[in-house]
Amino acid sequence: MLVLFFVAISASHFWILADVLHFDKATAWQDAVVSAGGVTFGAWSIYLMVNAYPTTAMFYFYALVAAMVMTAAVCYADFETLKWLADNPIYIEWLKHTLVFRALFYGLLLAWMGTNGALRKMLSISEEKFRLQSDAATLLREAELFKLRQQLQPHFLYNSLNSINALILLSPAKAQQMTGRLSDFLRSSVKRESEDSIPLSEELAYVQSYLDIESVRFGDRLTVSINNNMVEDLPIPPFLLQPVIENAIKFGLYGKTGAVEIGLEITWDGASVVFTITNPFDPYLAPPKGTGFGLDGIKRRLWLLYGRTDLLETRFDDTQFTTILKIPASYV
As a whole number of Å, the CA-based R_g of the chain is 38
CA nearest to 195, candidates 240, 164, 261: 240
Convert the pLDDT of each residue in 73-112 to its tens digit: 878 777 778 778 777 787 777 777 777 887 887 788 788 8
* pLDDT for position 233: 85
Q: Are strands 222-228 and 260-268 parallel, antiparallel or unpaired?
A: parallel
Residue 332 has pLDDT above 50, yes or no: no
| CATH architecture for the domain at 152-328 | 2-Layer Sandwich (3.30)
Q: Model's pTM, two decimal places? A: 0.57
Percent of the chain with pLDDT over 90: 8
Contact between residue 273 and residue 236 where contact means Cβ atoms under 8 Å apart: yes
Domain ranges of the chain: 2-142, 152-328
> How confident is the model over 119-137, as a mean pLDDT?
75
Residue 166 has pLDDT above 90, yes or no: no
Convert the pLDDT of each residue in 41-72 to its tens digit: 777 787 777 777 777 777 777 788 888 888 88
Q: Describe the crossing of helices 99-151 and 89-97 by its angle, rounded to 10 degrees.
A: 50
Residue 33 CA to residue 14 CA, distance in Å, equals 9
Convert the pLDDT of each residue in 272-315 to its tens digit: 999 999 998 876 665 555 444 468 778 888 888 888 888 999 98
> How confident is the model over 221-235, as a mean pLDDT?
88
Q: Burial-class residue 99 by CB neighbours within 10 Å (0-12, 13-18, 19+).
A: middle
